[in-house]
Amino acid sequence: MLETTSYAILPSQVNKKEELRHPVQSICSYEWDGKVLSGMLSKGSFFIYFTRENTLRFAVQPFGEADVSPTIAAERDQPLDGVTFEPSEDSLVLEAGAHRVTIFKNSLSFSVSRNGATVFQTEAPCVSYTKEKQVYFSVEKETDAPIYGLGEKSGFINKNGLKISNWNTDVFAPHNKDTVELYQSIPFALIHAQDKTTGIFFDNTFRTSFDMQTYRDKLEIMAEGGQVNVYVIWGEDVKETVQAYTDLTGKTPLPPKWSLGYHQSRYSYTSQDEVSTIAATFKKYGIPLDCIFLDIHYMDDYRVFTFNEDTFPGAGALVKDLNSQGIDVVPIVDPGVKKDVHYPVYVEGMEKGYFSKYLDGDVYYGEVWPGESAFPDFFNSSVQKWWGGLHQYYTKLGIRGIWNDMNEPSVFNETKTMDLDVMHDVDGKKISHKEGHNLYGLYMSKATFEGLKEQVPNSRPFSLTRAGYAGVQRYSAVWTGDNRSHWEHLEMSLPMIINLGLSGVAFSGADVGGFSSDTTPELLIRWTQVGAFLPYFRNHSVQDSIYQEPWAFGEATMESVKKYIELRYRFMPYLYTLFHEAEQTGLPVVRPLVMEYPQDEETFQCSDQFLLGKNVLVAPILRQGQTHRAVYLPAGEWYDFWTEERYKGGEYHLIKADLDTLPLFVKEGTILPLGSPVRNTKEKQEIELHIYHSEQEVTGILYEDDGISYDYRDQAYSISTYDYKKGDLQISREGSYEATAEIIATKIIGKNEAGEDI
């Protein structure tokens, strides 16, 4: 309680003693089985192997045998074939093509080289431990190298100079630099330099910390238990490293198109009448809408898988009516199951032993919205199946998306979560909550995703989660939790989403308008401008705040907000194409400039601009009252989307942007497929091709399919490639999807060599 007073900085509170650390000294014996090198250390054991040519897995367990089994996060990991092994007196060498790792036997450490040049080096020794069973791993780094990734963290894109720890936490207090632990834990960092990007994935689910502060030339990673279990990726640039990371942890699957439209939410729309009125108001003002959310008030006393009979007596009819207007409904589902002997979900879960328990078999109960509640043990596949099956309750009404909240799990007590000695059952293997905590949200997302997939045949599920761990992108989109209607939070949403993207999560967004606090008309407009270009686009607000639906502040504000929601739909064909690319490659939809311009130092710290895909640059206004800003355009020529004026890249420009204008640029040589106006994604769009002139190549690509099913995996897709040369537009097509959009117009933007309009 005294944490918010000066008591928190009393000497006795501040100077906590560090545990004594012991280095893991040397390799005593080893064994090479043709793929994996393993052996005994002076304390504990280790193994190391290539998972692909530019990726290595290295593990040390100082307290026993290192565990080589695949984890839920890196489930695609497999030792590479064709690696050669060469021992010598001091070192052990593994080689895969041009890639060589040298492991030093004394003072355990290793280095990696590519074509003879060193690209990575650990400290010597690289592993240490404490008697409390903390494990440490340290690697060398350039003092000023920017460090990206680390999932959903506050602050700017570069994390060098900070200490970042990972423990999934429900943080309602304002997110700022000091609230490091938020809802997601993705222990993956990218250390960048002009000629390489090194990825370090510390796949350990205990609380972990990345210390980029204490030592100038090294990064030290710590876990509060378990083993050092690290993947090192040495990519030539950010892209290669993110691709390799998502080869391990999975790609963001192509979402249903409706989940990329505009979504409206509030905590809560408290009755079915209110929900209908919201839908009707969108219709009245002609504002596009794809989905309305039902927050916790739809339930009967917060019992998941129920509706409140008084306020939602005709939930089925409501969903049906909205669906007929092309509007989806997504209800919230929390993990806490109310302890109530008359509540079938609770009774069944108890009878089958599906809730999380202590070692002695007693069920763990914690206080959340419904009062005392039990928490499904999602780690177990029978529990996942059961939970997934419960979603029939919604899917039979026509619901095909679910919002998972409070799944850190959040509990109303001092520790904010479940007791650490609760044991989870990973299909027979028991792990403590201390080890499993950061995985709770990931497993819940898995249960939800797989349940929806089974309940709604041949339909891509949409699930949205607050908590997660590395690999969460396989199951769920992520929103950044309880932000506030503060300009600083608008600003911070960019680096958060950019770094989530670099951490494998291509599908994420922040509550547009801000969740808690009262938004203002100006903030809502500026935030909608940003949200329209982020992967996930939902306006959401807390119960005691003023309403922030598009029309909440009168007509002028509404027109501006509407303009950007409509712009989202104009960009839908391009956006959807990028999501297809994300599924193929693992590359994010929203990219930091450094991803496309890895050698340009001017991009290294750029947190207030981003690229949508490769060729669209967004440089929003992020401060109250501002109508101008400096915009950095990287190499090449760029066109202002609105004025079509041409700008030189490789420099800064002062751009004017009145309240109704989002600074938006398109790179020369781009063919941008823009969609015609629609009420939502269920209406078919026609295409207008905007061809941005360049002296070099002018190309574009459009991915299409039915927007909902998995048929695209069976050829029912279309990829159109556009090529424009000297007035001639060539289109080539791949895939067997027939119902492709009609091109109703082409527009050429720019000048020819003589400086004339063309």
Active site members: 405, 408, 482
CB of 271 to ligand MIG, least distance (A): 16
Q: What is the DSSP letter of 741?
A: P
Name the amino acid, one letter, at 691. Answer: I
Q: What is the DSSP string of 496-540?
A: HHHHHHHTT--SEE-EET-SBS---HHHHHHHHHHHTTSSS-EE-
| Kind plus residue range of the DSSP H or E element containing 725 | strand 718-725
CB of 466 to ligand MIG, least distance (A): 6
Rounded Cα distance, 101 and 119, in Å: 10
Rounded Cα distance, 206 and 227, in Å: 10
Nearer to ligand MIG, 322 or 510 (CB): 510
* Residues in 415-474 that interact with ligand MIG by CB under 6 A: 466
Nearer to ligand MIG, 206 or 403 (CB): 403
Nearer to ligand MIG, 192 or 540 (CB): 540
CB of 479 to ligand MIG, least distance (A): 8
Mutual angle of helices 381-390 and 440-455, in 10-degree steps: 50
Nearer to ligand MIG, 208 or 465 (CB): 465
Residues 156-175, one symbol each (x = binds ligand MIG by CB under 6 A, - = not), give: ----------------x---
Rounded Cα distance, 150 and 71, in Å: 18
* Residues in 508-527 that interact with ligand MIG by CB under 6 A: 515
Rounded Cα distance, 367 and 419, in Å: 12
Both tokens of 546, joined, read: 């003023």
Nearer to ligand MIG, 296 or 494 (CB): 296
CB of 493 to ligand MIG, least distance (A): 14
CB of 170 to ligand MIG, least distance (A): 7
Both tokens of 565, joined, read: 């929601």
Strand 263-264 and strand 291-294: the pairing is parallel
Residues 172-211, one symbol each (x = binds ligand MIG by CB under 6 A, - = not), give: x---------------------------------------
Enumerate the H helices of 187-333 as residue ranges: 238-249, 272-285, 315-324
Residues 81-100, one symbol each (x = binds ligand MIG by CB under 6 A, - = not), give: --------------------
Question: Does 332 engage in binding with ligand MIG (CB under 6 A)?
Answer: yes
Q: Which of 37, 219, 296, 494 binds ligand MIG (CB under 6 A)?
A: 296
Q: Which of 482, 596, 637, 668 binds ligand MIG (CB under 6 A)?
A: 482
Nearer to ligand MIG, 482 or 596 (CB): 482
Rounded Cα distance, 369 and 299, in Å: 11
Rounded Cα distance, 641 and 615, in Å: 12
Name the amino acid, one letter, at 746. Answer: T
Q: Which of 140, 247, 295, 377 binds ligand MIG (CB under 6 A)?
A: 295
Q: What is the torsional sign of CA 654, 657, 662, 668?
A: negative
Half-sphere exposure of 724 (CA within 13 A, CB side): 23
Nearer to ligand MIG, 466 or 693 (CB): 466
Q: Which of 140, 181, 247, 405 binds ligand MIG (CB under 6 A)?
A: 405
CB of 424 to ligand MIG, least distance (A): 23
Three-state SS sequence of 291-329: EEEECHHHCECCECCCCCCCCCCCHHHHHHHHHHCCCEE
CB of 146 to ligand MIG, least distance (A): 30
Whether the CB-CB separation of 206 and 224 falls below 8 Å is answered with yes
CB of 462 to ligand MIG, least distance (A): 16
CB of 543 to ligand MIG, least distance (A): 8
Q: Which of 151, 481, 598, 700 binds ligand MIG (CB under 6 A)?
A: 481
Residues in the chain, overall count: 758
Nearer to ligand MIG, 129 or 403 (CB): 403
Nearer to ligand MIG, 540 or 568 (CB): 540
Question: Does 408 engage in binding with ligand MIG (CB under 6 A)?
Answer: no
Rounded Cα distance, 207 and 164, in Å: 11
Half-sphere exposure of 611 (CA within 13 A, CB side): 22
Q: What is the torsional sign of CA 632, 636, 637, 640?
A: negative
How many residues bind ligand MIG, per CB under 6 A?
12
Rounded Cα distance, 572 and 257, in Å: 9
Rg value, the chain, Cα: 26
Whether the CB-CB separation of 174 and 192 falls below 8 Å is answered with no
CB of 300 to ligand MIG, least distance (A): 15
* Residues in 245-274 that interact with ligand MIG by CB under 6 A: 267
Nearest to 53 by CA among 115, 103, 140, 104: 115
Enumerate the H helices of 337-428 as residue ranges: 344-352, 381-390, 392-395
Q: What share of the chain is helix, strand, coil (3-state, %, to 5)?
A: 25, 30, 45
Nearest to 379 by CA among 443, 466, 449, 288: 443
CB of 264 to ligand MIG, least distance (A): 13
Whether the CB-CB separation of 146 and 603 falls below 8 Å is answered with no
Which residue is nearest to ligand MIG, using beta carbons?
A: 267
Nearer to ligand MIG, 44 or 531 (CB): 531
Both tokens of 417, joined, read: 């979560």
Nearer to ligand MIG, 152 or 482 (CB): 482
Half-sphere exposure of 559 (CA within 13 A, CB side): 5
Rounded Cα distance, 70 and 426, in Å: 13
* Residues in 536-555 that interact with ligand MIG by CB under 6 A: 540
CB of 304 to ligand MIG, least distance (A): 12
Nearest to 462 by CA among 255, 279, 600, 618: 255
Question: Does 368 engage in binding with ligand MIG (CB under 6 A)?
Answer: no
Nearer to ligand MIG, 480 or 680 (CB): 480
Whether the CB-CB separation of 243 and 67 falls below 8 Å is answered with no
Q: Which residues bind ligand MIG (CB under 6 A)?
A: 172, 267, 295-296, 332, 405-406, 466, 481-482, 515, 540
